[in-house]
Amino acid sequence: MALNCILWDVDGTLADTERDGHRVAFNMAFEEAGLERRWDVPTYGELLAVTGGKERIRFDHERRGLEAPAAEDIAGLHASKTRHYQGLIAAGRIPLRPGVRRLLEEAYEAGITLGVATTTTPAALDALIEHSLGSEWFDRFAVLAAGDIVPAKKPAPDIYTYAMDRLGVTPHETLAMEDSGNGWKAAAAAGLKCVVTINDYTKDHDFSGADLVVSEFGEPDRPPVHVFDNPHGLEDLDYVRLSHLRAIMHG
């Protein structure tokens, strides 16, 4: 099948948002609320097994044997965290990952439909687009599927199914771009082929069955990417090109 659509995850895929973005913003929200809890880097890595920020707050209380806050308190903490996260992005603290802008622009110029399928909040997604990509991308993305727009978050396939339904495309013409085990499982459950770019938090996840697993998308003027799995036998993988993505769909 031809490559007609690419659906992008956000956190860890478009940008390395987790460790130096969301985690920091959560801690700022905790401090603002007068809570003693702080999530260090290893702790937040453990919590990433739970999809969704509000869900992580609840899970962290429960696993420590504490009564979880009321739903409205969790929602308030999460709203505060989102505000702090937007500030971090606006300050230029969270740049795009290498190769992301290049691939997005090449795909857009080639007439490939582009969309976002993420569990991050719409406000956080809007901030990243505005400050890291540019406001023109609000129109270039044909769908922005984010947050609680579907009842079940990744690894459920719902967000991908929703995005494809909105776009009128099928799994046979759509490629997913992910960074985590839960994201890969969601894409696979939706019947999508998937390219994975790992990060420090996801390097030990199981990506068995993914169509390409690399350290990053890379750039022509950067050191070659590290290839962890290349089941389609793609060549010249010093950096990921649009031609590689097309070849995956044909494979």
Q: Map out the domains of the chain with their CATH numbers.
A: 5-16+96-250 (3.40.50.1000), 18-90 (1.10.150.240)
DSSP string, 95-163: PBPTTHHHHHHHHHHTT-EEEEE-SS-HHHHHHHIIIII-TTHHHHEEEEE-GGGSSS-TTSSHHHHHH
How do strand 227-229 and strand 212-214 relate by DSSP bridges?
Answer: antiparallel
Beta-bridge partner residues of 141: 114
Among residues 129, 179, 172, the alpha carbon closest in space to that of 154 is found at 179
pLDDT for residue 121: 86
The catalytic residues are: 9, 11
Phi-psi label, residue 191: left if phi above 0, alpha if psi -120 to 50, beta otherwise: left
In the predicted model, is pLDDT for residue 165 greater than 80?
Answer: yes
- Helix extents (H) in the chain: 23-32, 41-47, 53-63, 71-90, 100-109, 122-128, 137-140, 158-167, 181-189, 242-250
Residue 148 confidence class, pLDDT cut points 50, 70, 90: confident
pLDDT for residue 205: 94
